[in-house]
Amino acid sequence: MTYCVWRLLKITSKKSPSDKKLISAIHTIAGFTPKNLELYRLATRHSSLIKENGNGFKENNERLEYLGDAILGASVADFLFKKFPYKSEGFLTEMRSRIVNRESLNLLARKIGIGNIVQYDQKNSQLQQVILGNTLEAIVGAIYLDKGYSSTKKFVIKKLITPNYDLDELVSTQTNFKSRVIEWSQREGKEVRFEIVDIKKGKIHKEFTAQVFVNNEVMGTGYGNSKKKAEQDAAYKTCEKLNILSEISVRS
C-alpha cells in the first residue's frame, strides 16, 4: 500500500459518505488529498442550491469561480508564454482563449468527472450541462486557497492542459478571424465591412487602425503595422464581442 493511498484511507475513515466521495474525487482529479475540505464543498455547490449562513451570506461557488477564473487564466498564460517564446501577443491570446473558453471548459470538466461531484438543483435537468466549466473554475480557486499558486499551476499544466489538449493541433488550426467574421455575417444575414480608419507614420513603420462594422455599427477596432494585421486584430476583437471564437476539442 502506497503512502498516498494509506493517507487517503486514514483521512476518509471517519468522514461522512458524501465527504468520502468528495475527497476521493479530488484525489482522482487533482492527484492530492485536500487539506481544507470545506473549500471543495463550497466549490462544488452551485447557486441553484440557495444556502445562507448566519450572516445572510449565500454559500455557493460563485466567489471561488471568480477567483479560479483569474488563477486559471494566469496559469495558462504563464504556460503558453514559456511554451512559445517567439510567438506574438495575439497568438498567445488566441491560444489561451481557445483553451479556457466556456465550451472547452465544460467539455474538460465533464471528461475529468466534475459532473459526479457538482451539487445543483436537479429539478433543472439541463443545468449540469452548462455549469461544469464554472465548477471547474471554482475548484481551481479552492486549490489555490488550499495549496497555493505553485501547486495550482502544476495542477493546471499537468492535470488539465497536457493530457487533454493537443497544442500542436491548436497551432496548426490557427484561425483567420477576418474569414470567420465574414462567414458569420453570411450565416446570420448581416452586412459586414472592414475599413482602415487611420494611418500614422512611425519612426520605423506605419501604424494602421482598422474597424469592423456590422450593419454600420462598430464591433471591433484593431491595430497593426500593416493593413492585414490591423484588420485581423479588429476581426479578433469582433469575434470576441460576438462570442464566436473557435471551440476546441478536448481529447477523448
pLDDT in tens, 29-80: 999 999 999 999 999 998 887 665 556 567 899 999 999 999 999 999 999 9
Across the range 118-142, mean pLDDT stands at 85
Q: Cα 74 to the chain's mean position, in Å?
A: 10
The b/e string for 209-239 (b: 16+ C-beta within 10 A; e otherwise) is bbbbbbeeeebbbbebeeeebbbbbbbbbbb
For 177-242, give the CATH class: alpha beta
Residue 72 has a pLDDT of: 98
Average of per-residue pLDDT values in the chain = 86
* Higher pLDDT pick, 84 / 93: 84
Question: Sorting pLDDT into bands at 50, 70 and 90, what band is 94?
Answer: confident
> What's the alpha-carbon Rg for the chain, to the nearest Å?
22
Query: Where are the domain boundaries for CATH 1.10.1520.10 in the chain?
Result: 3-172
Question: Sorting pLDDT into bands at 50, 70 and 90, what band is 195?
Answer: very high
pLDDT one-digit tens code per residue, 223-237: 888 898 889 889 988
Residue 51 has a pLDDT of: 63
Query: Where are the domain boundaries for CATH 3.30.160.20 in the chain?
Result: 177-242
38 annotated active-site: no
Contact 155, 149 (CB under 8 A): no
pTM assigned to the model: 0.69
Adjacent-strand bridge partners of 192: 214
Residue 6 has a pLDDT of: 47
Residues 6+ away with beta carbon under 8 Å from 151: 32, 143
Of the candidates 65, 69, 94, 146, the residue annotated as catalytic is 69
* Higher pLDDT pick, 123 / 43: 43
For 3-172, give the CATH class: mainly alpha
Per-residue pLDDT at 243 exceeds 80: yes
Of the candidates 65, 94, 137, 146, the residue annotated as catalytic is 137
Report the length, in residues, of the chain: 252
168 annotated active-site: no
pLDDT one-digit tens code per residue, 169-193: 777 666 678 888 998 999 999 999 9
Residue 140 has a pLDDT of: 98
